[in-house]
Amino acid sequence: MARANGSRRKFSLLIKHIVIATKQSPTLSWRLLRAKEHRPRNDDKKPPEMAAFFHPMQHYHSLEEFSTDNAWLTVGVFDGVHRGHREIIRKLVTDAHANHAPAVLLTFDPHPASVLTGRDIKCLTTPAERADLMESLGVDIVITQRFTPDLSTVPAHEYMSRLKETLGLSHLLIGYDFALGRGREGNANRLTEIGRELNYTVEVIKALSDESGVISSTEIRKLVSTGNVTEAAKLLGYHYSMSGEVIHGAERGRKIGFPTANVDYPKQKVIPLNGIYACWAWLGKERFMAATNIGLNPTFTPERQTPSLEAYLLDFDRDIYGQNLKLEFVSRIRDELKFDSVDALIWKIQDDVNKTRDMLSN
């Protein structure tokens, strides 16, 4: 007992030093805690300073880049970080921190199904967007591992042994349909068997459903690609977005009184169906209403193959070339149309702007 009390005093002193170091170095990570003592999992007395060394979140791209101890982990693609994903992630973060452990999330890029089937699966979130969402939910460490054909052949036991060695894996949270390893052999039952051998526990989280059924990234991709961004937002828990650098275009909009920001968006993302949308445009921390066009501009460029993304920001008159613009899709206004005259196009754009203002004002 005297040894345990002494260890706890040492741990408290360590916490104080870490808090001071965190204030001096914002990049402090869990690596500073490796090989240090951790409180017993059944100790409910969490020191108020504990949260200081959980953030800022660390984002790695390989298991070889770092190591930690006593990790609570969840594994999956988590594309979109939708409401179902958030149930798992919030539980991971809450329970890990209650047990004085880092909340670690392992995800993959590109999508494993794309690698295994050869299909071009567009994503709802880029790895960077996914990591930002994870950080907002309190995750301490995100690992975005490159998924390759070779990785898909690694047996479940071998892969879990790697995770145990690198993370000091203590607890694994997985979704109801999760599996990893060669031939998806590592389902919940198999991972539990391996856990008994490697000394980690497994917890399975039930699927989150709403009136339309189980919430899934596949269903959300369908909704976005068909232009149903309002329903997609209900399943995501936030508005679907596209971001990118504002680049020079043909400047036709400027010539007719509606200068648009042409956004160079990531081509691996799902793009909403061609048409006009009411959006919130974010320029840094500033937010503006935007009437946004996705499409081929058939009035001027009927030969175009790749959709362009152009936004007319309401009540805005600034040069933003080279800056990053984020567009949140709130509602679809109409299909993209080909007009017989420029005057007809101008009249319709003004109508789109009015509808955008009405939709976003309400």
C-alpha–C-alpha distance, residues 345 and 255, integer Å? 13
Q: Output helix, strand, coil percentages for the chain, rounded to the nearest 5.
A: 40, 25, 40
Q: Which residues contact 298 (CB under 8 A, 6 or more apart)?
A: 336, 337, 338
d(CA 271, CA 307): 9
Please give the positions annotated as active site: 310
Residue 124 in contact with residue 217, Cβ under 8 Å? yes
Q: Record the tokens describing residue 293, joined without a space.
A: 């066009």
Candidates 147, 47, 56, 63; CA nearest to 97 is 47
Residues in the chain, total? 362
List the beta strands (DSSP E) in 29-76. Answer: 58-60, 72-75
Alpha-carbon distance values, 242 to 162, 272, 315, 316, 357 (Å) = 35, 9, 21, 20, 20
Here the tokens at position 300 are: 């001027």
CA 334 vs. chain centroid, Å, equals 28
Q: Is the dihedral angle over the CA atoms 91, 97, 101, 105 positive or is it negative?
A: positive
SS3 (DSSP) at 216? coil
Find where tokens 């919130």 sit.
Answer: 280
- Beta-carbon contacts of residue 148 (< 8 Å; ≥ 6 apart): 115
SS3 (DSSP) at 113 = helix
Question: Of 99, 97, 93, 51, whose CA–CA distance to 74 is shortest?
Answer: 93
